Amino acid sequence: MNKKKIALIGGGQIGGVLTQLIAQRQLGDVVLFDIVEDLPQGKTLDIGEASRIDGFDTKVSGTNDYKDIADSDLILITAGIPRKPGMSRDDLLTTNSKIMKSVAEGVKANAPDAIVIIISNPLDAMVTLFKKVSGFPHYRVLGQAGVLDSSRFSSFIAWELGVSVKDINTMVLGGHGDTMVPIVRYANINGLPVMELLERKYGDAVKAKEVMDAMLQRTKKAGGEVVGLLKTGSAFYSPASAAITMAEAIIYDEKRLLPVCAFLQGEFGVDGYYVGVPVILGGTGVEKVIEFELNEDEQSAFNNSINAVKTLVGDMERLGF
Ligand code: A3D
């Protein structure tokens, strides 16, 4: 296989962890771009100097010049400010829209054939804006949210039931905000329904529902919980891991079925918006949106989430983006 070139736009907390993970897994050569002079050069030098210890020959370099991302196969974007305590993701809209517009222009001019994964918040709006400014086909522009939100939900279930998280499958759909939609009905441990195991643990359906509701709330607020503890920024290890899962699915053409922020054209009754749905992720990007029947409650929660995404995108458009 030809070695891939992966550009990371944004050399902050997530960009740094991404660089290290990509190098350690030898997914491809990394170019780390940031507007702050010397920051990406310093981070990549530091990571590169561990190559003997970690055993990688992957090239890692830092730059402040968009020309260096030319011919990238894959681009992961984390440029933008993160939340501080008390802020919602949507509070980042004005600042991060300006940043995303400039990033989309830089990527369009220098790496027009790349597949692009966006991580910057507010996620659904930033993916929408990147697609609009770049004019890239929708299947080559996608956002990371559902892989992380689902991992958070799975972790809470594993901790609650005392089982390995490796056997837990969950899916969180919708927009990447407080209206996200964890699909409880299909949450399972190697096929066994989580709700039934909770009911057996507590011997009481009402208590089991209370415990599940608490895990759902924690999942929806999980990003804010980390922000509240860190105080100076938001989660960065787990978002980087989630984005790596998506990058591997693309680089190795894995055809994984993952929840991804993808462009909908009538699927789930939504047309013309980016939102979290199950997709097949492979070598060409989003290869197919996978639809399934939502029950009444799930559909109403999903609609509520879509409305939140529409409001956010509308706000962004009113700001002139
Ligand atoms: P941070 O450590 O501040 O890094 C952001 C980097 O972007 C900094 O190094 C900036 O210098 C750089 N930057 C600013 N403007 C530009 C520009 N015009 N071009 C290129 N680089 C620029 O933040 P972080 O890494 O912790 O988070 C990055 C983004 O990811 C934020 O918007 C977060 O809200 C978001 N985030 C998303 C998730 C999801 O799951 C979707 C999770 C956590 C954080």
Q: Which band of pLDDT confidence, cut at 50, 70 and 90, is reported for residue 104?
A: very high
Question: Which pLDDT score is estimated for 84?
Answer: 85
Question: Is 176 close to ligand 1, i.e. is its CB under 6 Å away?
Answer: yes
- Name which of 177, 176, 10 is nearest 100 in CA terms: 10
167 CA to middle of ligand 1, Å?
Answer: 32
10 CA to middle of ligand 1, Å?
Answer: 6
Q: How far apart are alpha carbons 127 and 141 in whole angstroms?
A: 7
Whether 138 is a known active-site residue: answer no
Question: Which pLDDT score is estimated for 235?
Answer: 96
- Of 145, 166, 193, the residue that ends a domain is 145
Name the domain count of the chain: 2
CATH number at residue 109: 3.40.50.720
| Ligand 1 atom index nearest CA of 83 | 34
Q: Which band of pLDDT confidence, cut at 50, 70 and 90, is reported for residue 1?
A: low
Helix (H) / strand (E) element for 173: namely strand 172-173
- Of 116, 145, 174, the residue that ends a domain is 145
Same domain, 157 and 267: yes
Same domain, 211 and 295: yes
Question: Is 80 close to ligand 1, i.e. is its CB under 6 Å away?
Answer: yes
- Of 96, 119, 145, the residue that ends a domain is 145
Q: What is the pLDDT of residues 53-77, one digit of tens each?
A: 999 999 999 999 999 999 999 999 9
Alpha helix locations (H) across the chain?
13-25, 39-48, 51-54, 93-110, 123-134, 146-161, 194-202, 205-220, 222-230, 237-251, 296-318
Question: Is 149 close to ligand 1, i.e. is its CB under 6 Å away?
Answer: no
Domain ranges, residue 297 = 146-321
pLDDT over threshold 90, residue 88: no
Q: Which band of pLDDT confidence, cut at 50, 70 and 90, is reported for residue 113?
A: very high
Choice among 4, 83, 176, 220 that is catalytic: 176
Same domain, 261 and 191: yes
- Name which of 90, 72, 87, 58 is nearest 9 in CA terms: 72
pLDDT over threshold 90, residue 130: yes
82 CA to middle of ligand 1, Å?
Answer: 6
Same domain, 303 and 161: yes
Same domain, 316 and 178: yes
Average pLDDT score over the chain? 97
Question: Is 246 close to ligand 1, i.e. is its CB under 6 Å away?
Answer: no
The residue-averaged pLDDT of 194-222 equals 97
Q: How far apart are alpha carbons 279 and 294 in whole angstroms?
A: 16
Same domain, 175 and 302: yes
CATH number at residue 157: 3.90.110.10
Among protein residues, the one whose CA lies closest to atom 22 of ligand 1? 79
8 CA to middle of ligand 1, Å?
Answer: 11
Q: What is the pLDDT of residues 156-171, one digit of tens each?
A: 999 999 999 999 999 9
Among protein residues, the one whose CA lies closest to atom 16 of ligand 1? 79
Angle at 176 between CA 170 and CA 312, to 5 degrees: 155
Structure tokens at 256: 């994984």
Q: What is the pLDDT of residues 245-274, one digit of tens each?
A: 999 999 999 999 999 999 999 999 999 999
